[in-house]
């Protein structure tokens, strides 16, 4: 139940960002710092989420099958594979590494 509250708040705040964009004066657009922070934060958050999901379990760090999935996904992306294929390659790699007992 607790999660519902944060989830709905996240939805409300996401809509707030979107709608605010339509109501701020156009001169804000001319400040490159604001849009650059939005962009670099997107990069930083996605990089952080990638590595957290690859090596962290709670507060512990571990090298396991997920690192294999990360490497395989990077290769697939370098070869310009589409999003869904990259995700499937990540899943298959982790599952396979576990099945053969490597990680």
Which residues within the stretch 26-55 sit at the binding site for another protein (CB under 8 A)? 26, 28-29, 32-55
**Rounded CA gap, 38 and 40, in Å?**
6
Which H or E run includes 56? strand 56-57
| Least distance between another protein and beta carbon 37 (Å) | 4
Nearest to 72 by CA among 58, 46, 54, 56: 54
Which residues between 59 and 98 bind another protein (CB under 8 A)? 59-61, 65-66, 68-70, 72-74, 76-77, 82-84, 86-96, 98
102 binds another protein (CB under 8 A): no
């Amino acid at each position: 139940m607790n999660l519902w509250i944060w989830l709905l708040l996240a939805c409300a705040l996401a809509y707030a960002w979107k709608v605010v964009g339509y109501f701020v004066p156009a001169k804000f657009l001319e400040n490159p710092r604001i849009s650059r922070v939005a962009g670099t934060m997107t990069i930083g958050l996605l990089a952080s989420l990638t590595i957290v999901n690859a090596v962290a379990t709670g507060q512990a760090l571990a090298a396991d099958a997920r690192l294999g999935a990360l490497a395989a996904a990077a290769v697939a992306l370098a070869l310009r594979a589409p999003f869904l294929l990259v995700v499937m390659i990540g899943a298959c790699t982790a599952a396979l590494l576990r099945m053969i007992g490597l990680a």
